[in-house]
Structures are given as C-alpha cells and as structure tokens.
Amino acid sequence: MKVLLDTHVFLWAISGDRRLSRAHREIYSSATSELYLSVVSVWEILIKVALGKLPLPAPVAAYISSQMESNRVSSLPIRLPHLIEIETLPPVHRDPFDRMLVAQARAEDIPILTSDPAIRKYNVDVL
C-alpha cells in the first residue's frame, strides 16, 4: 500500500517520538507499505530548521536524505496535477504545506498518514 507521510509523522518516526501512535508506527514499519515523503515536507523542514523551530542532529539535507534512505522512504515531487488539485480544495486548512499534501494525496489517490485532525475534513483518505 502506498502511503504519503505527513511531515510530523516522518519526523516522529525517525526520532522515535512517543507521539507516533502504535497504528501509525505499524503502518510506517510494515514491509508492505510504500512510504512517500513529499518534497514540500522537506521544504517545510528546511524552513523550520532555519527559523530555529526544529533542531536536527545533523545538517538538514544530509540528515533527511540519509533518514529517507535508511527508512525506505521515497520522494514525491510536486507535479502539475498536484497544483491543479489545490484549486479544488475547500479553505479548510490555512497551512500551505498541508494543503499541498492533501492535493498530492488526492491527485495520486493515496492515503495520508497523519495525526492532524484538520486534514480529515478534506475529501482524502487518512490513516
């Protein structure tokens, strides 16, 4: 099963954060899950680190790349159908990163692994 990771789920999973639920941990670690991290999540991480809101144990690019590789997480680029899908989204969530994740999940027809209750208000599959 293909799964798009919300930014916080990826960060919690790679850091062993207890906020990651057992169900999310099982999906994340399942050999049958094809995990994807959007480039928009990497962009969000870069911004939060630069603003001092997110400490990481190593420089962002190297750290995220190595964590993606060691956790079998593939990159999901932003494509034109994803941008077009944004136009159809209701104004539920103000966060542009989360709106892009929803648009990507809808355009790719894959569920999002998230703990964000606002994302559940969209017409998108949420795990």
Given this model, what pLDDT does residue 93 score? 80
CATH number of 2-121: 3.40.50.1010
Instruction: Summarize pLDDT for 81-94 with one digit per residue, the tens.
Output: 999 999 999 988 88
Domain boundaries, the chain: 2-121
Q: What is the mean pLDDT of the chain?
A: 95
Q: What does the pLDDT look like over 15-60, one tens digit per residue?
A: 999 999 999 999 999 999 999 999 999 999 999 999 999 999 989 9
Q: Is the pLDDT of residue 10 over 90?
A: yes
> What pLDDT was estimated at residue 107?
97
The first and second tokens of residue 108, run together, are 């790719």
Q: For residues 42 and 66, what is the distance between their CA atoms, to the nearest angstrom?
A: 13
Tell me the C-alpha distance between 5 and 83, whole Å.
Answer: 18
